[in-house]
Each structure stands twice: as C-alpha cells, then as structure tokens.
Amino acid sequence: MNLLLNVIWIVFGGFLIAIEYVVSSVLLMCTIIGIPFGLQTIKLAQVALIPFGTKVVPVPTSSGCLNLLMNVIWWFVGGIPIALTHIGLGLLFCVTIIGFPFGVQHFKLAGLAFTPFGKTVS
C-alpha cells in the first residue's frame, strides 16, 4: 500500500517538492555557513520524495543546546514559511477523504520543516 501511495504522491507533486528541496540545498551549500542548513533540506527532500513508510524520529544526542540554536536560526532562514506551506497544504488535502493520507504526510513534513535539527529519517 505504501508503494502505491508513494507513486501517487510522486506523480501528483511529490517529485517537484523534492526537486525544490534539492535545489535549495545546493544553493545553501554554496557557502560554508549554509552547509548545515543544506543538509537539513536534503533530509526534507528525502521525506518529500517518499513520505509513506518513512518515520521522523528524534536523535538522542547530547547536543541539545546546539540543536535548539540551529533550529532557531533555521526558523529565520526559511523554516517557518516552509512549515506554514505544508500545514496549509495538509489542511487543504484533509478536506476530502481521498486526500486525507496525503494531508497527514504534509503535516509530517511540516513538523520536520519546523525543527529539522536533532531529527533523523528512517
């Protein structure tokens, strides 16, 4: 079932979302300061390409303050608009029964887009 839902997701916009994340990642990685943020957008691209069957889990590390600081900087770099876009799309998809699973995936992407540092995709 995940395979079918992923194929539908890719055909109806998931591929374009993933390409946008990859392009923004490359642009962010043009500077040394942007490399950590570019790595996070690669993580977003991975979930945006194949969201069904992937899980976003927190990483148990001792760098909690660094993750918090990087997430706050990320909010100003673009995390808030990205998360709001995914929340809006999620609400739009949840209006119909057929779109509900896709709306849930957008909510998952919104959570990752809001705080990507300190999380991993499995």
Task: Report whether 17 contacts 110 (CB < 8 A).
Answer: no
Range of the domain at 84: 2-121
Q: Give per-residue pLDDT as tens, 40-80.
A: 999 999 999 999 999 999 888 766 688 889 999 999 988 99
**CB-facing half-sphere around the CA of 50: CA atoms within 13 A:** 10
Percent of the chain whose pLDDT exceeds 90: 82
Overall number of domains in the chain: 1
> What does the pLDDT read at residue 72?
94
> Helix/strand/coil (H, E, C) string of 3-65?
HHHHHHHHHHHHHHHHHHHHHHHHHHCCCCCCHHHHHHHHHHHHHHHCCCCCCEEECCCCCHH
Alpha carbon of residue 30 to chain centroid:
20
Q: What is the pLDDT of residue 122?
A: 87
Give residue 62's pLDDT. Answer: 62
